[in-house]
Amino acid sequence: MIATAEHQMDSISTFDITKYPLFDVMKDIKIGRIQLPDFQRDWVWDDTHVRRLLASISLAYPIGAVMMLQQGTQHQQFKPRMLDGVINAAIQTPNLLVLDGQQRLTTSFMVLLSGQPVVIKDPKSQKLAKKWYYLDIQKCLEPEHDRKTAIIALPESKIMRTRNGDFIDCSTLENEYEALLFPLSKVFFFSEWRSKFSKYWQYDSQKLELIDTLELEVIKKFEHYQIPVIQLRDSLPKEAVCQVFEDTNTAGCDLNFFDLMSSSYCAGNFSLRDDWKHRENRFQTFKVLRKVRSTDFM
C-alpha cells in the first residue's frame, strides 16, 4: 500500500510552475544552461512574428508560458543543442531543455542579447535575411501609434531607404542618436547607451526628458518582464516527455509530421533529424533528389 501511494504521488507531481525574469532566461541561454532537445525543429520566424513579440514584451503583455524539462545530473534523456544565435558558449550539460516556446525564446535572445543580427525568413520567397531591430523613440511614446509600427527592422548594414523615400542610416552610434532610434540589442545595457546618447546631445533638457520617458515607459518593461515556465521534472519517463511535446506542439502551424516523428523516435535513442541531415547531404549529389524535403522523404 505504501509503495502504491508513493507511486501515485510521483505520478501527480510531474511538473512545477514558476516565473523567471526575462534577462535571467536570456543569460542562461547565452551560457548554455538552457538548451534544446536535439529533436526540436529549427527556428523559422519571419519579421512580422518578431515585431509582434517585441511589441508585446515592450508593453508588458503576456507572451504565453514556455515548457522546459529538467536535465538530471546522472543521465541525459535527450541529446541537447544550443538555441539558434548562441555562439562561443562553453560546452556544458544544460539544466533545462526547451520543449515548448523555442520560437519565442530564440527570437528574444537573438534580438536582445546575442549581439548579432537576427536571421529571419521571408514567408513568400523563403529567403533568409539578417536584420537589426530598433525602436523609434518618439513613435513608441505616442499612445495613438500601434507599438509594432514603432519597431524598425534594418538590414545588416543598418542602412535602409523606406517605402516613402526616407533614408535611415544607423551605421554609427552618432547616427543612431541623431535619428532617435534605440537599438533593442542594448535593452539590458541601457545606462551605457543613455550616457553616450546624453553626451552626444550635450545634455539637452528636451532630449534628456525624452530618454527618461523611454526608460520609464518601455525599457523598464523589458528589465522587469517575467516569463511563466512549466518545468517538467527529470523523473518523467522519456516516452512521456515525447508525448507531452507532441501534444503541446501539434497546434503549431510550423510543426510538421517530420518534427513529430523526430520526437517519437528520440524515445528509442535514435535521432531522426541527424539521420535526415546525413541523407539530405547525399541527395544533393543527385539533381533529381535535390528538392526532396524531410516530409517528402517520410
Shared domain for 196 and 50, answered yes or no, is: yes
Shared domain for 289 and 190, answered yes or no, is: no
Residue 216 in domain: yes
CB atoms within 10 A of CB 288: 7
Tens of pLDDT, residues 170-222: 999 999 999 999 999 999 999 999 999 999 999 999 999 999 999 999 999 99
Residues 6+ away with beta carbon under 8 Å from 66 = 98, 100, 101, 104, 105, 227, 228, 229, 230
CA distance 129 to 116: 12
User: What radius of gyration do the chain's Cα atoms show?
Assistant: 22
Interval 143-148 mean pLDDT: 88
Query: How much is the pTM?
Result: 0.78
Shared domain for 232 and 206, answered yes or no, is: yes
Number of domains in the chain: 2
Of the CA atoms within 13 Å of residue 127, those in its CB half-sphere come to: 4
Position 246 pLDDT exceeds 90: no
Residue 19 in domain: yes
Shared domain for 224 and 259, answered yes or no, is: no
Residue with cell 541601457: 190
| Contact in structure between 161 and 140 (CB atoms under 8 Å) | no
Residue 243 in domain: no
Residue 244 in domain: no
CA distance 256 to 282: 23
Shared domain for 211 and 286, answered yes or no, is: no
Shared domain for 213 and 292, answered yes or no, is: no
Shared domain for 230 and 276, answered yes or no, is: no
Q: Of 23-32, 76-85, 157-166, which range is least confident?
A: 76-85
Shared domain for 62 and 210, answered yes or no, is: yes
CA distance 252 to 270: 24
| Contact in structure between 170 and 179 (CB atoms under 8 Å) | yes
Domain residues for the domain of 279 are 253-298
CA distance 102 to 110: 12
Q: What percent of the chain has pLDDT over 70?
A: 79
Q: Of 92-96, 125-129, 196-200, 240-244, which range is least confident?
A: 240-244
Shared domain for 261 and 206, answered yes or no, is: no
CA distance 191 to 210: 14
Sign of CA dihedral 71, 76, 79, 81: positive
User: What is the arrangement of strands in the sheet containing 96-100, beginning at the earlier edge strand?
Assistant: 15-21, 226-232, 66-70, 96-100, 34-37, 80-81
Q: 119 pairs with which residues across the strands? A: 130
Shared domain for 184 and 264, answered yes or no, is: no
Who has greater pLDDT, 190 or 127?
190
Shared domain for 140 and 286, answered yes or no, is: no
Shared domain for 126 and 206, answered yes or no, is: yes
